Each structure stands twice: as C-alpha cells, then as structure tokens.
Amino acid sequence: MKKILFTLFFFPALLSQFNCNSNSTEPETTANYMSLSVGDIREYYDSTMGDYQIWEIIGKTKRSDSTEVFIGKWLSSMDTTYQGTVSYYAIRGNYFVSTELEKTNNSENPYFEQRLAEINPKDGDRWIDILGVPDSEITYFTAKYVGKYKTPASEFKDVYGYTLADYFTVYYANDFGHIATGDSTFGISINYAKINGREIGKFMPLTKPNLSTIRKSNKHFRKVNFLGQVIE
C-alpha cells in the first residue's frame, strides 16, 4: 500500500559528531516545534553518503477542499537533473502534516494526511502517524524530550525526538522545526537554515556525490523520507 517519497541509504556511519544529550527537564512554556513560512530553507548533510539535501518552502496553494497548504520542494545532489520533487504540508491542530491536494478513496483520511510531528509536544506523547490504514499497517510516533542536540549548523536546546515505530527518530527544535533524523546506522542533520528570516549555519552548493559511493550504497538502500513521510 505504501510507497516511499524520498531516498536515504542505510549503512553504518559515525554519529558522534551529531550528539544527542538526554535531559529530562522539559520546557514549561507553550512551544512551536514546526515553522512553515514561504521562503524557509533547510539544507541537510547526510553523514553516511556525504550528500546535501535541500527542503525549501516555495509557495502556497489550496487543496480541492479550499484548505491552504504550503508547497515544499526537495532537491538532492543525488538528483543529477536538479529538478527536485514537490510535496504539500500544513499545520493541522497540534500536528505538522503532509497532505495530498486531491481527495483519495479513503473516507477516514481523504487527503492522506500524515501527522509527522507535534507542534507542542510533551514527553511520552504517542500518536498514529496515518489514520485510515489497515490495523496491520498502523505505526506510531512516540515523543521523548532529549534536551540539547548538536548539528553542523548549531547546537539546539529543548529538542524532542519523535521515534517512528522501529524505523528511526526525527528531531525537532522549538521555533525551527525539523533539524535531524537518525538511528544507529545513519545520520542526517541540518547544515544550514533560513527560518522566518533567521539564518544559521553555512549553505553549501549542491555537488554530485562520488559515484562509487552511490553504487556501493545501492546494495543496502531502502527508500524512505527522512521526515517519516510516505505516500500511497
């Protein structure tokens, strides 16, 4: 039923440069763990592949039910055409979601919304990521407060990790949103960001990765979006 939107490549990598330090003291104030604004740019570094990937919010549009959503464009140095792919996102209640523009045949979840992250999380929160799927295909995100998290762009505080089933953990920082994804075998962390006009890190132009590395990694890959996003 599920196809995967983007690609990562899974094989052992050193994650010590992207440290996650546990801290049980949660922030007490109401928070905003995802920013969506036209012009937002996030550039990530894949420590496994030596690959840079860019996620930019390039505009707004409307679904067929007139709900306004944001247009996110993805670019990767793995894509030698540099044309990129487009997905659609919104804030719905307490969740950052991906969405389709047209209705599907699923009456419970007609726009195939996936709840990728909580906006105001609490330690231990747990939620189904995609409603309306068969019971055998249900997966959950679970939130854990981890405190400080170091990336190439900056060290963030008050970070939460959202673990998707037994796949991987995605990390979100207050006022910035998604900053990293990883497990014991790979790590992707934010290298540069321009969020609501604020800049951190240093932008690196996309360059073609080493072809021998790509061929080697193809033996181990499984397609996956590092936000945890899937599509039908």
Task: Note the pLDDT of residue 185.
Answer: 73
Contacts by 73-76, CB closer than 8 A, 24 or more apart = 74/6, 75/206, 76/6, 76/7, 76/51, 76/52, 76/206
For the chain, how many residues are written?
232
Q: Are 190 and 153 in contact (CB under 8 A)?
A: yes
Report the SS3 class of residue 44.
Answer: strand
Residues 6+ apart with CB under 8 A from 211: none
Residue 212 has pLDDT above 80, yes or no: no
What pTM, to 2 d.p., does this model score?
0.82
Per-residue pLDDT of 149-161, as tens digits, reads 999 999 999 999 9
Q: Are 126 and 143 in contact (CB under 8 A)?
A: yes
Q: Are 192 and 205 in contact (CB under 8 A)?
A: no
pLDDT band at 28; cut points 50, 70, 90: low
> What's the mean pLDDT in 45-61?
90
Per-residue pLDDT of 102-113, as tens digits, reads 999 999 999 999
Per-residue pLDDT of 169-211, as tens digits, reads 999 999 999 999 988 777 899 999 999 889 999 999 887 655 5
Task: Note the pLDDT of residue 222.
Answer: 36
Residue 121 has pLDDT above 70, yes or no: yes
Which of 49, 51, 55, 19 shows the shortest CA–CA distance to 35?
A: 55
Report the SS3 class of residue 217.
Answer: helix
In terms of pLDDT, which residue wins out, 89 or 79?
89
Q: Is 175 left (phi over 0), alpha (psi -120 to 50) or beta?
A: left
- Number of domains the chain is built from: 1
Print the domain residue range for 201.
Answer: 3-231
pLDDT band at 24; cut points 50, 70, 90: low
